[in-house]
Amino acid sequence: MKIIRRGWPQKFAWWYGNRLRERTIIGEVQENQERSKGLLIILSHYLPLYLHINLTNGIETTVGNNAMKAAPSFCLLLSLTTTYHAVAVPSSPEDDDCVIKSSNYINMSYEQDGAEAKEIAKYLPYFPFKGIPRFYDIGGFLEKPEVFQQIVDIFAARYDSIGIDAVAGLDARGFILGPPIALALKKPFIMMRKKGKMPNSISSADYNVEYGKRAGLTVQRDKISKGDRVLIIDDLVATGGTLSSAVSLVHLCGGTVVECACVVELKMFIDPPADSGLPSRTKLFKDMNINHVPVWGLISEDVLTVEAKLEEGYVDDGEEH
């Protein structure tokens, strides 16, 4: 471990950590220090530590749930307060190194399907569209400025302190949501567009979505630099195909995806039973070696119950069926 900032906070942290070691266990901890690469880390608002650690094989970070599933030899005390949340994000799929900053955290005040989400869900009707019985349309809340503003405020609050360098929005509804969030965070906005739309761009591979196949996304070569921490924004995540394409682009440029954030997350695609016939987002991310990238949605299908009122003669005229 390398401690960048030295002084009494580190000395206090390790002294306090030793006091708590016999009483604080998160998961199963092996006390054999020769066999263990784990570290006990004490973080709080009052300890301005900057720690660089090498995580033991088997550790999985899940930022959206503020959880860290550790190998048996790893012990982590995330906080000394009830309101502080620490986050560790691998810099790339091939790199187990993580940077933890005591000043960088995700605001967990807004939970998926919480009170705010349930209220916003009233403005997200579903339509039969593209052969999908429930196609959720963000046009419902876009016509309500106060609801749209609330969504922007929630996302800005969630990521205000995580430490990002840019916000990337996905073609096309991510272009609606991303810019106001980027402005609220005072960060650059990056477009990830369909092929053939931007000069000086690089492309990801083709990908599948729940209603068909798509060519890879593109991003301009000079928009993401090596080491940049990027927040990816889109309206909805289902199978994860579009998000996986965007994540690949960030990695191609040498950047890190802090989180993929969407207004709607369809949980039915996270890890469905093998005999369901549904594509698995978890399997897709594992196969692409990007399962370390966290995904968060404000609202799930559990609370999206508003059926659109259709005029007589409505026709499903979606481009693919």
| Beta-bridge mates of residue 319 | none
Q: Which of 21, 22, 193, 210 is catalytic?
A: 210
Q: Is 119 a catalytic residue?
A: no
Give the three-state DSSP class for 215: coil
Q: Which two tokens stand for residue 283?
A: 């399997």
| Beta-bridge mates of residue 98 | 53, 90
| Residues 71-87: b if buried by 16+ CB within 10 A, e if exposed | bebbbbbbbeeeeebbb
The residue among 298, 270, 267, 263 whose CA lies nearest residue 112 is 298
Q: Are 125 and 307 in contact (CB under 8 A)?
A: yes
Q: Are 79 and 103 in contact (CB under 8 A)?
A: no
Q: Both ends of the chain: CA-CA distance in Å?
A: 53
Sign, CA dihedral 192-195-196-202, equals: positive
Q: Is 210 a catalytic residue?
A: yes
Q: Are 308 and 126 in contact (CB under 8 A)?
A: yes
Q: Which of 158, 173, 229, 281 is catalytic?
A: 173
Q: Do you find a cis peptide bond into 88, omega within 30 degrees of 0? A: no
| Beta-bridge mates of residue 231 | 167, 259
Q: Which H or E run includes 178?
A: helix 174-185
What is the set of active-site residues?
173, 210
